[in-house]
Amino acid sequence: MGASLRELRQRRKSVTATKKITRAMELIASSRVLKAQHAAARTLPYTRELNRAVSAVATYSRTDHPLTRPQADKPRRVAVVFITSDRGMNGAYSSNVIKMVSQMRERLDAEGIEMVRYAVGRKGIGYLSYRGMDMAASWSGFSDSPTYDRAVDIADRLVEDFLRPYEEGGVDEIWTIYTRMESMLSQTPRARRVLPLEVVQGVHEVSGEELLPLYEFEPSPEAVLDRLLPLYVRSRIWFYLLQSAASQLASQQKAMKAATDNAQQLIEGLTRAANQARQAEITQEISEIVGGASALADLTQDQN
């Protein structure tokens, strides 16, 4: 009985230490997710102005840029960039993204389209490496705290591969699979096409004697798009990284809270079991003492 009581106490001590760790991780994720949300919100004005600038060039000029032009009537090779986490203990965050990648691979295989993979995050890299799948490029080490420089590296590589001819290993389309943070309780994986860009032309309704705006692009519309469109791709990748980071931290907070609650329930169960074991041990000791005293009294009475 003593060995069982010691084992229960050791297990309770171990679970209590685990609870402290999960609680600390929950608090850290809770504080960092707010910063990640604010960082994603701060990118919106910049992205909005880029959209307006690109829309203005597309609306008031007839420029056909390579980044907006489909490479072929039907895609032959499609690149998929998917963003996962570098570490675990964040619930189903990475597995949901990987599941969507698998669904896209099945769809592309059914259509006879080759798929090229670009992995962001160690979980995605490990998934592909374990299954022997090729990767065109990979990035890791910044899933929960991305920087704009990382977004530039990824975006420039995507633009380079998109502009490369198909015969030399280029791709016809580029898609990104990331996790959109809907709320602290809901994070949804999404697939968005990055290239070729779909530029939405602005519509300006004229009423009465209102005049249409007159735009002049210097040195030329082509040169303006050459500078704007790569910036636009970088801003989209940057937004996807920030959204994924916020989603990862929110998922981690939710997972660690569940782990903390489960640890507390397990501690309460072990405490009850230890108390019962201790009570049984005390009862047995009392029974042994009473039995020994009774036997001693009987022996003394027999001797008299």
In a domain, 105, yes or no: yes
200 Rama sector, left if φ>0, alpha if ψ -120 to 50, beta otherwise:
beta
In a domain, 65, yes or no: yes
How many CB atoms within 10 Å of residue 109? 11
- Tokens read off for 280: 């049984």
* pLDDT value, residue 117: 92
In a domain, 63, yes or no: yes
Burial of 205 (0-12, 13-18, 19+ CB in 10 A): exposed
In a domain, 15, yes or no: no
* pLDDT value, residue 276: 83
Model confidence over 2-23: pLDDT tens digits? 558 788 888 888 888 988 888 8
* pLDDT value, residue 277: 79
What are the phi and psi torsion angles at 267 (to 5°)? Answer: -65, -45
In a domain, 166, yes or no: yes
CA distance 202 to 58: 8
- CATH number of the domain residue 61 falls in: 3.40.1380.10
DSSP string, 151-219: HHHHHHHHHHHHHS-GGGT--SEEEEEEEEE-SSS-EEEEEEEEES--PPPP-----TTPPPP----SS
In a domain, 185, yes or no: yes
* pLDDT value, residue 223: 77
Q: Is the dihedral of CA 73, 79, 80, 83 positive or negative?
A: negative
Number of structural domains the chain divides into: 1
Q: If we measure between CA atoms, which residue out of 241, 242, 260, 256 comes closest to residue 29? A: 256
In a domain, 103, yes or no: yes
Q: In sequence order, which ranges of 78-121 are alpha helices (DSSP H)?
A: 93-110
Enumerate residues 6+ apart whose C-beta is below 8 A from 231: 50
Q: If we measure between CA atoms, which residue out of 154, 137, 142 comes closest to residue 87? A: 142
In a domain, 155, yes or no: yes
DSSP state of 79: E
CA distance 154 to 244: 15
Q: If we measure between CA atoms, which residue out of 265, 182, 239, 257 comes closest to residue 28? A: 257
CA distance 268 to 187: 32
Note down pLDDT in tens along the chain; length 304 residues.
455 878 888 888 888 898 888 888 888 888 888 888 888 788 888 878 877 777 777 666 666 677 777 776 788 889 999 999 988 888 888 899 999 999 999 999 898 889 999 999 999 999 999 988 888 899 998 888 888 999 999 999 998 988 888 888 888 889 999 998 877 778 888 998 888 876 554 444 444 454 445 566 677 777 777 788 888 888 889 989 999 988 888 888 888 888 898 989 898 888 888 888 788 777 877 877 877 777 777 677 766 6
Domain that holds residue 222: 27-198+216-252
